[in-house]
């Protein structure tokens, strides 16, 4: 397993899960009292899946050769990600 913590901002989508040649079940959790949005490159608060820390960790299946980006609704929240592999 590999875990990372990444600070986000509300102006630029940030890569939180890299592409791999396998499908993976990943865990995403917003660590601070904030709302973030996840999705493909270019995700925005209008196009992404809304997550907040009150919902707790969620599992997301990442298809092979796909990535996951995140952007903050506001401020600079931190997101934690747990992915299988090295």
The rounded distance, in Å, linking the Cα atoms of 22 and 43 is 22
Q: 33 is written with which tokens?
A: 């009292």
Give pTM, 2 decimals. Answer: 0.94
Residue 85 has a pLDDT of 77
Instruction: Look at domain 2-83 and name its CATH class.
Output: mainly beta
pLDDT along the chain (86 residues), means of 10: 96 97 96 95 96 93 97 96 86
């Amino acid at each position: 397993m590999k875990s990372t913590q990444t600070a986000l901002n509300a102006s630029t989508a940030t890569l939180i899960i890299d592409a791999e040649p396998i499908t993976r079940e990943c865990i995403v959790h917003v660590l601070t009292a904030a709302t973030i949005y996840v999705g493909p490159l270019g995700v925005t608060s209008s196009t992404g899946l809304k997550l907040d820390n009150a919902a707790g960790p969620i599992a997301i299946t990442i298809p092979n050769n796909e990535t996951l980006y995140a952007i903050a609704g506001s401020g600079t929240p931190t997101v934690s990600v747990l992915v299988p592999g090295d």
